[in-house]
Structure 1
Amino acid sequence: MDNHTTIAAYNLAKSAYANYGVDTDKVLETLDNISISLHCWQADDVGDFETKSSSMGGGIQVTGNYPGKANTIEEMRADLEKVLSLLPGKHKLNLHTIYGEFNGEAVDRDQIEVKHFQGWIDWAKKNNVGIDFNASCFSHPYAEDGFTLSSKNPEIRSFWIEHVKRCREISNEIGKQLGTPCIHNTWIPDGSKDTCVDRLGHRTLLKEALDEIFEVEYDTNYMKDAVESKLFGIGSESMVVGSYDFYLGYAIKNNKLICLDNGHFHPTEQVGDKISSVIQYVDEVLLHMTRGVRWDSDHVVTVNDESLLIAQEVIRSGALDRTHVGLDFFDASINRIGAYVTGCRASRKAFLFALLEPTELIKAHEDKGENFERMFLLEQLKTLPWGAVWDFYCLQQQTALDNEVIALVNDYEQAELLERGEVLV
């Protein structure tokens, strides 16, 4: 599709949406202000750059052995730069602790410092992106029994408390250097494979650990704390210490962000439906956009009912300025760059679709009990030319249109990824 065709199609779409009172130019301005945080771990299947190798754990399982996995920080950064070149809009990098630059030195996680991540901060400055940060409470000898911050072993619990404290300190410095808040997210795999009798004991220990971790308060202009729940995981099928009820209560009481990962709930739960509830009680929300298939399988995000409802409820609730959007999926069965580009574009498309909704018009019918009219309008929106608006947005952003992406990803695969050899899993 040439530029002339893209512009002509957009003008037709603009006119179509104007009939419903929607200004597509303003919609694109709003869309461009949404920053999406790219998770670094899609590039290497949740591996790490620590000097001591460790088996993956904490309920994390990546399947597939597609060639081209990033094996070094240099390869990961090259992949991320390629991904960013194929994405419209603003972005951040979501970084886990295990991706520090340790330069061959054995640095355990309770000893990490800002210097181990300075290279990433410099890279972020160069590429004009922010950074979010995560404690890595998994894939470590002190996580092998299934408990970290809620462990009944004081030595293990103290180790992880110190780790998360250092992560928060590093996050604060990241925010200062980059001039945009770094969101530090705390997720732990703690739980029991089989029946646990002392759930109260583990949750009491987790609360005490979090209270100690959060004793130091940081300027929210530089760092913000989020806590993330999970329904179950591999090895924690019967009980997860950090449940939704636990973290929602903790976030409300302690003024923390609640992280809603739409793969961390029962398959019949609608995570989008939770947004209008939680924003009544917490100031800000962190979204982890993923796609669970039957369980928390972290499939690549697509434009489906779930992603659309999440975006729609953020927009309908007027909560966009209180919502932070991040990605959390990993797929080693397909081209990893293609997975990134597909998932990130799909997430932004979901927000575009939501922003193009004439919500006030539909609500006016709803408030009058005109439910047929509400239903029919919602159905009409599905066939309006929103794809033409998306194409024009990509053109505005001087990035590839959808019909150009496959060839560009395949070119990179031939030139770079296949040179890395086969990945053995």
Structure 2
Amino acid sequence: MSIEARYNEAKKQYKKWNIDVDQVLKELKKVPISIHCWQGDDIGGFEVNQQELSGGIDVTGNYPGKATTPEELRNDIEKALSLIPGKHRINLHAIYAETDGEVVDRDQLEPKHFEKWVNWAKQHELGLDFNPTLFSHSKADDGLTLAHPDKQIRDFWIEHCKASRNIAAYFGKELGTPALTNIWIPDGYKDIPSDRLTPRKRLKESLDEIFADTIDEKYNLDAVESKLFGIGSEAYVVGSHEFYMGYALKNNKLCLLDTGHYHPTEVVSNKISSMLLYSNKLALHVSRPVRWDSDHVVILDDELREIGLEIVRNGALDKVSIGLDFFDASINRVAAWTIGTRNMIKALLLAMLTPNEYLKQLQEEGNFTDRLALMEEFKTYPFGAIWDYYCEISDVPVGETWLDEVKHYEQTVLKHR
């Protein structure tokens, strides 16, 4: 049976529940995923005075073919995009600036240092998002940046974040879609602090100074990202969830929830509905923690499916900015992008192929038997036929055939680096 024939048969089953599959695919096509560039080069970046990875971040593995130039990285991203259905965004860190051999410290970065990224994004009709890089730098060696006791160090990082917001606004103006600028810092202490409040006061003051300049939200959206702990900040992180949730809500910023930044038994999917009650917009970094914030490639596990459901069933596809954040150097990096992004899209599609309104009605009526039965039955509905058809009409490989293209790319391109 052809892909289209299987699709038409599957549509009949979903139609029984008033799910218009053709319309679902039209809506899914409108949802961009912000794909992180740093999977392609193990968060190395292209600074002339490139420094060792720090800030509690570690990339394990040494799979051949890592991108070592901006051109290689962009080519690898293009390859991954050719295997992923839909039109998406690319998320950059400040360390991916191109300064043509000139040493430019991070507080001096300008839009011109990202002109090649913008021209490339225009060529491929991509939006760009941005992150100031507050790690892997001599002024972050002791694990403190915006909350540092030394005002000179705080001021350096404040200027870097200000510069980053201006760069993001440049992206937004040039590309016609606002860039999300997300601030994450590694600040914290390895052992039990004697004062938790003062560093948080300094962080609040630093953020207030960073956001003092108003930038039109047509061009730039500001987000702040929390974390529970990290290597070197096991006992205390200045930018906790409570800190950033309060700051974001009070100052009309996006609160960004990273799925790896919470307790092992704490899930982001359970936070989304609560956050949406108090905030018009929310941002996600979707990763996969294995016992800790280990940033494994996203798989179609229960939590990813629940994240998709919480976004879709609450009508929040236009309220939640979905970004990815994982880095695995033990497998083919183009494959990592492809697996993770396709799985994020699959989770959304599964949620859109669920009779959410009817299931809500059953819950309100107290009919928990039917609710549970149907939620379980829909796990084996012919979702695969819908996914395959979506890939086919999107001109990307169907099923596992994308892996053949990755293997060919590895043999013809990656092995020669």
TM-score past 0.5 threshold: yes
Looking at structure 2, the residues matched to 97 and 53 of structure 1 have their Cα atoms a distance apart, in angstroms, of: 12
* Alignment-mate amino acid for residue 118 of structure 1: E
- Equivalent positions of 1:101-140 (< 5 A) are 101-140=98-137
Q: Which of residues 11, 26, 30 in structure 1 aligns to 2:27? A: 30
Other-structure match for 2:251? 254
Q: Which of residues 382, 387, 397 in structure 2 aligns to 1:400? A: 397
SS of residue in 1 equivalent to 2:62: coil
Q: CA RMSD in A?
A: 0.7
Q: Which of residues 193, 207, 211 in structure 1 aligns to 2:190? A: 193
Are 1:280 and 2:272 counterparts?
no
Deviations 1:235-261 (A, max 9, x none): 110000000000000000000011011
Other-structure match for 1:78? 75
Q: Which of residues 320, 327, 332 in structure 2 aligns to 1:330? A: 327
Shift of 1:53: 2.2
Looking at structure 2, the residues matched to 195 and 230 of structure 1 have their Cα atoms a distance apart, in angstroms, of: 16
* Alignment-mate amino acid for residue 324 of structure 2: L
Q: Which of residues 78, 92, 97 in structure 2 aligns to 1:95? A: 92
Looking at structure 1, the residues matched to 335 and 399 of structure 2 have their Cα atoms a distance apart, in angstroms, of: 12
Deviations 1:199-232 (A, max 9, x none): 1010000000000000011111110000000011
Other-structure match for 1:203? 200
Looking at structure 2, the residues matched to 51 and 153 of structure 1 have their Cα atoms a distance apart, in angstroms, of: 26
Q: Which of residues 152, 161, 166 in structure 2 aligns to 1:164? A: 161
Looking at structure 2, the residues matched to 138 and 167 of structure 1 have their Cα atoms a distance apart, in angstroms, of: 14
Looking at structure 2, the residues matched to 330 and 345 of structure 1 have their Cα atoms a distance apart, in angstroms, of: 16
Other-structure match for 2:149? 152
Looking at structure 2, the residues matched to 170 and 61 of structure 1 have their Cα atoms a distance apart, in angstroms, of: 27
* Alignment-mate amino acid for residue 328 of structure 2: D
Deviations 1:106-132 (A, max 9, x none): 100010000000110001001110000
SS of residue in 2 equivalent to 1:320: coil
* Percent identity between the two aligned chains: 53
Q: Which runs of 4+ in 1 moved over 6 A?
A: none
SS of residue in 2 equivalent to 1:94: strand
SS of residue in 2 equivalent to 1:361: helix
- Equivalent positions of 1:353-364 (< 5 A) are 353-364=350-361
Shift of 1:320: 1.2
Shift of 1:403: 2.6
Count the aligned residue pairs. 417
Other-structure match for 1:418? 415
Q: Which of residues 170, 177, 184 in structure 2 aligns to 1:180? A: 177
Looking at structure 2, the residues matched to 403 and 165 of structure 1 have their Cα atoms a distance apart, in angstroms, of: 44
Are 1:366 and 2:363 counterparts?
yes
Looking at structure 2, the residues matched to 126 and 379 of structure 1 have their Cα atoms a distance apart, in angstroms, of: 44
Looking at structure 2, the residues matched to 196 and 123 of structure 1 have their Cα atoms a distance apart, in angstroms, of: 46
Q: Structure 1 residues 206-215 or 362-371, which shifts more?
A: 362-371
SS of residue in 2 equivalent to 1:101: coil
Looking at structure 1, the residues matched to 257 and 173 of structure 2 have their Cα atoms a distance apart, in angstroms, of: 26
* Alignment-mate amino acid for residue 112 of structure 2: K
Shift of 1:366: 1.1
Looking at structure 2, the residues matched to 360 and 174 of structure 1 have their Cα atoms a distance apart, in angstroms, of: 38
Looking at structure 1, the residues matched to 274 and 284 of structure 2 have their Cα atoms a distance apart, in angstroms, of: 14
Are 1:48 and 2:11 counterparts?
no
Looking at structure 2, the residues matched to 122 and 213 of structure 1 have their Cα atoms a distance apart, in angstroms, of: 27
Are 1:9 and 2:6 counterparts?
yes
* Alignment-mate amino acid for residue 235 of structure 1: G
Looking at structure 1, the residues matched to 133 and 153 of structure 2 have their Cα atoms a distance apart, in angstroms, of: 14
Deviations 1:372-393 (A, max 9, x none): 1000000011000001101111
* Alignment-mate amino acid for residue 297 of structure 1: S
Shift of 1:28: 0.6
Other-structure match for 2:216? 219
* Alignment-mate amino acid for residue 85 of structure 2: P
Looking at structure 2, the residues matched to 299 and 50 of structure 1 have their Cα atoms a distance apart, in angstroms, of: 26
Gaps of 5+ in 2: none
CA contact (8 A) 2:44 2:50 kept: no
* Alignment-mate amino acid for residue 334 of structure 1: I
Other-structure match for 1:348? 345
SS of residue in 2 equivalent to 1:258: strand
* Alignment-mate amino acid for residue 73 of structure 1: P
Looking at structure 2, the residues matched to 403 and 48 of structure 1 have their Cα atoms a distance apart, in angstroms, of: 31
Other-structure match for 1:423? none
Give the TM-score normalised by the residue count of structure 2.
0.99
